[in-house]
Amino acid sequence: TEVCPVRWAAMDNRSVLQWDKDDCAEAGLVKFDLLGLGALTALRLAFTTLAQRGQTVPDAVTEGELRTSQSGRPWGLHTLPEEDPAVYRLLTAADTVGVFQVESRAQMATLPRLRPQTFYDIVVEVALIRPGPIQGDAVNPYIRRRLKREEVTYLHDSLKPALTKTLGVPLFQEQLMQIAVDAAGFSPAEADTLRQAMGAKRSIERMEALHDKLIAGMRSRGIDAPTAETIYSKLRSFAEFGFPESHAFSFAYLVYASAWLKARKPEDFYAGVLAAQPMGFWSPQSLVADARRHGVRVLPADVNRSLAQATVEQREDHQDADRSDQWEPLRPHPAAPSALDVHDDLAVRLGLAPIKGLGERAAQTIVTERRAHGPYRDLADLARRVSLSRSRLESLAVSGALDSLGVERRQALWAAGVLSEEHGRRRDASRQGLGAWYQPTLLGTAVGAQAPTLPTMTDRERQAADLSLTGVSTQGSPLRLLRPSLTADGVLSAADLKDREQGSRVRVAGVVTHRQRPHTASGMIFLNLEDETGLLNVACRAGMWRRYRSVGRRAVALIVRGTVEKGDGVVALMADRLQVLPGVPGTGSRDWC
């Protein structure tokens, strides 16, 4: 309060400085940027489930190199094998759904071209797909040079010391600072001013203010005016946010750890990412679909099996009681981008808390009571032991979380309503629907909990209920049920495009998972489609998007007509027509357009 005004924040016991962060820094206050990453939570949860099963670092591994003296220690960020080839196989195949930092559309399109083989390649990948390098036209030149399709050149010899390790292409803020020193004669302090300008909120304006000084410095060192302006444009592009190399190293290690878990311990990986939601680029439904395509078994939420959040379940945990069909072998889809080390005796069990209308507190109450007094025998036993409101019981019924009690979903829904009347919550009960309970006062008015004969839900109805109540279906993509009719109509799957020639005109169907309009893409709109075979990136030119915008922005699923584009292991579709695919349940797309 002696330096700048302070006020109370909306959150209890928090205060807010009333100056802009840049003004605070100018006044001499120390500013820390604290970055909260959901990926760290996912990694912690994955390593925790490994430890709970007694999994430790072995004496040796078949691939990669263990650090010395790690044998017998728990798996964690500090005990992973170094340079495991499985990590690089997964990254090169762009099999990165759920993998920190490299799961976006742009990253997945770049990985097969970059073909990472070492840890530093991951560092480069993290830094490459950023607005700064993209605006500075660094991505394609770097990849061409890496693949030896283009000669490594430098705009001026003074740039060699800074750019040798990145093949003459500027990627990191530290390189730009060194260029300012080597090519423009800046002092280290002046180069730090440049760094501050690159990271500032008003970075473009601050970079422009340094223009004349940079050009004058380069001209005084014998660099001609056009080359000096080109070098300046590279520097200015980092005003659109490029990574410091140290930042890229830190993120790259989290990429490596995430990719290692997915490749080597996939059940723990998927359980950790699902339990840490909301986070990342992909929805829980896409994560579960990706797991199934790799042969990872995902089991639905169950009042007698699940915890509050997703976790790893071993078959022997409930061997006598488990439904046999849930543990039938699940083979990877032939179109899976890479092979994961799947364990047949493990499965991902979805949690109760994500069920819509239930909540974390009620889910934890169900789990605590089950652990204390044993499994629930039937729905009446659950209603008697756990004080759940009618809406919560109905959510459990429709979501399938009561299936293990031996009752079909429609019957469970009927019984939930009846039991909630027999054991209903008082209007003045405590919050969250967990309060006092009562018996109906009028004798003879209660309807029996035994339902009349009701039709069993169809596969499509169960899938729609799953997606509506939990956001996840363990039955796979909704397109699986439509595939026979789509195939008869000549509509291809995402995997089919790998066998089609460049420039072929095709129709493909899929659920829309993302809509993006990057400000670096000259008006292009990108859609991600997903079906039972995998993912497809669809590009829409600005004019085409204007014609089909109402369809493209609202449809849950689309049939897209377009031409196949291939290159360096990447398959995409350039769309020329969008058509609604009706009758497909969904959970909503993630849109940035």
Q: What is the CATH number of the domain that holds 580?
A: 2.40.50.140
Among all chains, which residue has been given the structure tokens 């990574």?
Answer: 243
What is the model's pLDDT at position 429?
43
3-class secondary structure, 84: coil
Tell whether 376 and 514 lie within a shared domain. Answer: no
pLDDT digits (tens, 9 = 90+) for 215-231: 889 998 888 999 998 88
Half-sphere CA count of 329, side-chain side, radius 13 A: 3
Tell whether 133 and 12 lie within a shared domain. Answer: no
What is the model's pLDDT at position 317?
52
3-class secondary structure, 551: helix
Mean pLDDT of 289-307: 93
Tell whether 470 and 487 lie within a shared domain. Answer: no
Tell whether 23 and 56 lie within a shared domain. Answer: no
CB atoms within 10 A of CB 249: 17
What is the model's pLDDT at position 186?
87
Evaluate whether 152 touches 144 at the Cβ level (below 8 Å). Answer: no
Evaluate whether 573 touches 538 at the Cβ level (below 8 Å). Answer: yes
What is the model's pLDDT at position 346?
93
What is the model's pLDDT at position 198?
64
Q: Is the pLDDT of residue 324 over 70?
A: no
Q: What is the DSSP string of 160-227?
A: HHHHGGGTT---SHHHHHHHHHHHH---HHHHHHHHHHHHSTTHHHHHHHTHHHHHHHHHHTT--HHH
Tell whether 230 and 85 lie within a shared domain. Answer: yes
Mean pLDDT of 125-147: 83
Q: What is the DSSP string of 124-170?
A: HHHHHSSHHHHHTT-HHHHHHHHTTSS----SSGGGHHHHGGGTT--
pLDDT digits (tens, 9 = 90+) for 253-296: 999 999 999 999 999 999 999 999 988 899 999 999 999 999 99
What is the spatial distance between Cα 89 and Cα 105, in angstroms, rounded to a whole number? 18
- Output the 3-class SS for 20-76: CHHHHHHCCCCCCCCCCCHHHHHHHHHHHHHHHCCCECCCCCCCCECCCCCCCCECC
Q: Which of 183, 214, 246 is the last residue of a domain?
A: 246
Tell whether 164 and 187 lie within a shared domain. Answer: yes
Which pair of tokens denotes residue 274? 């699902």
Q: How many domains does the chain have?
A: 4
Residue 131 domain-assigned (yes or no):
yes
What is the model's pLDDT at position 370?
94
Between the alpha carbon of residue 426 and those of residues 63, 112, 418, 443, 573, the distances in Å are 61, 60, 15, 18, 57
Q: Which of 246, 274, 308 is the last residue of a domain?
A: 246
Tell whether 549 and 588 lie within a shared domain. Answer: yes
Evaluate whether 115 touches 144 at the Cβ level (below 8 Å). Answer: no
Tell whether 24 and 171 lie within a shared domain. Answer: no
Residue 86 domain-assigned (yes or no):
yes
Under the banding of pLDDT at 50, 70 and 90, the label for residue 241 is low
**Angle at the Cα of 384 (from 382 to 388), degrees rounded to 5?**
70
pTM of full prediction above 0.95: no
What is the spatial distance between Cα 265 and Cα 50, in angstroms, rounded to a whole number? 9
Tell whether 157 and 11 lie within a shared domain. Answer: no
Poorest-confidence range of 30-44, 413-427, 442-456, 494-508?
442-456
Mean pLDDT of 338-355: 93
CA quadruple 483, 484, 485, 490: dihedral sign: positive
Burial 489-511, CB ≥16 within 10 A → b, else e: eebbbbbbbeebeeeeebbbbbb
Mean pLDDT of 540-552: 91
What is the model's pLDDT at position 263?
96
Which pair of tokens denotes residue 155? 């705009």
Percent over 90 (pLDDT), the chain: 40
Residue 445 domain-assigned (yes or no):
no
Comparing C-alpha atoms, which of 405, 361, 404 is closest to residue 379? 405
Half-sphere CA count of 156, side-chain side, radius 13 A: 21
How many residues appear in the chain?
A: 593
What is the model's pLDDT at position 2?
78
DSSP label at residue 421:
H
Residue 178 domain-assigned (yes or no):
yes
Residue 426 domain-assigned (yes or no):
yes
Q: Which of 205, 221, 246 is the last residue of a domain?
A: 246
Q: Which residues pair with 529 in a beta bridge?
A: 512, 536
Tell whether 7 and 57 lie within a shared domain. Answer: no
Tell whether 211 and 118 lie within a shared domain. Answer: yes
Domain extent, residue 172, equals: 39-246
pLDDT digits (tens, 9 = 90+) for 93-118: 999 999 999 998 889 989 999 999 99
Half-sphere CA count of 247, side-chain side, radius 13 A: 17
CB atoms within 10 A of CB 567: 11
Mean pLDDT of 424-432: 43
Q: What is the mean pLDDT of the chain?
A: 84
Residue 288 domain-assigned (yes or no):
no
Tell whether 413 and 522 lie within a shared domain. Answer: no
Residue 154 domain-assigned (yes or no):
yes
The gap between the terminal CA atoms of the chain, to the nearest Å, is 42
Mean pLDDT of 511-535: 86
What is the spatial distance between Cα 373 and Cα 515, in angstroms, rounded to a whole number? 48
Comparing C-alpha atoms, which of 241, 239, 273 is closest to residue 254? 273
Under the banding of pLDDT at 50, 70 and 90, the label for residue 435 is very low
Give the relative orientation of helices 139-146 and 119-128 as an angle to the nearest 10 degrees.
160
Q: Is the pLDDT of residue 37 over 80?
A: yes
Residue 159 domain-assigned (yes or no):
yes
| Residue 590 parent element (H or E) | strand 590-592
